[in-house]
Amino acid sequence: MIKSLKHLVLWLTLATSSYAVELELAEQLWLSHRDNQLIPLVSSSHPDLSVKQAYLVQADYVKKRLTHDKVAGFKAGLTSSAAQHKFNVNQALSGVLFASGDFSATESIQLSQFKRLMLETEIGFEIDKAITSLITNQAELKQHIKAVFPVIELPDIGFTSKPKGIDIIAANVGAAAFIKGKPITDFADIDLNALTVTLTKNGQVVNTGKGLNALGNQWHAALWLVNRLIAQGSTLEPGQFLITGAMGKMIQAEPGDYLADFGELGQIAFLGVP
């Protein structure tokens, strides 16, 4: 009996200590966001932080952000093998998109308000019916989707130095801003995996990608993201949306006149200013 109590006390002590660490790291991330400072590396002070703990830090950080913001949607990150290899992870990542990051009605993006803004061409999926439990397959998922649309994601990866996987997870996978294109509700006959996107800056091609770049299948990537979020305790509400990861590369945002051509999904044009 006494031995069992000692084990319980030890477990509670370790659990409390771990939670305190997660809260501390989330506070550091929140302060860096509030003050527009470089993103701290959680791996610097806690190199042994697990992926599970990194997501708990992310959850606490997101909770702090949501005191002054709302959830617009959710993102999958590092959905290509090349991106995973670059950051030494073996799985895609998930994060939260905030309503304050919606630049869809803005013609220009002021780069100086971010730390190290990047550009990604992606596909978005608008939720029609709430998702509260795990989805079995792609056909079931499609019943919950109202529209698909092109998206420019603008992640901010302005870390103090090169991040590791746990740093990216904890910092909400760099979620900063996004530009949504025109939604398409009649998408049954569109093969998202066959789509090719071309991004130009001042008329010069700076990136190309294919729908297949996201986990090999856009609907598979969306299904993975949904079930990942549900497993973490999230509910996906009507009007929220998913983005499934970069088609092509993640590139540095620079001043210039950009045009992203998504073929059947349409185009998105925007201006990057210093």
Domain count, the chain: 1
Q: What is the pLDDT of residues 240-263, one digit of tens each?
A: 999 999 999 999 999 999 999 999
In the three-class reduction of DSSP (H, G, I as helix; E, B as strand; rest coil), residue 75 is classed as strand
pLDDT of res. 81: 83
Contacts 24+ apart (CB under 8 A), 30-37: 30/61, 30/64, 30/65, 33/65, 36/113, 36/115, 37/115
Q: What is the pLDDT of residues 143-167, one digit of tens each?
A: 999 999 999 999 999 999 999 999 9
pLDDT of res. 82: 82
pLDDT of res. 213: 94
The answer to whether 74 and 242 are in contact (CB under 8 A) is yes
* Comparison of pLDDT for 6 and 113, the residue scoring more: 113
Q: What is the CATH number of the domain that holds 72?
A: 3.90.850.10
C-alpha distance from residue 198 to each of 97, 212, 213 (Å): 24, 14, 13
**Is it the case that residue 6 has pLDDT exceeding 60?**
no
- Domain, as residue range, for 69: 2-273
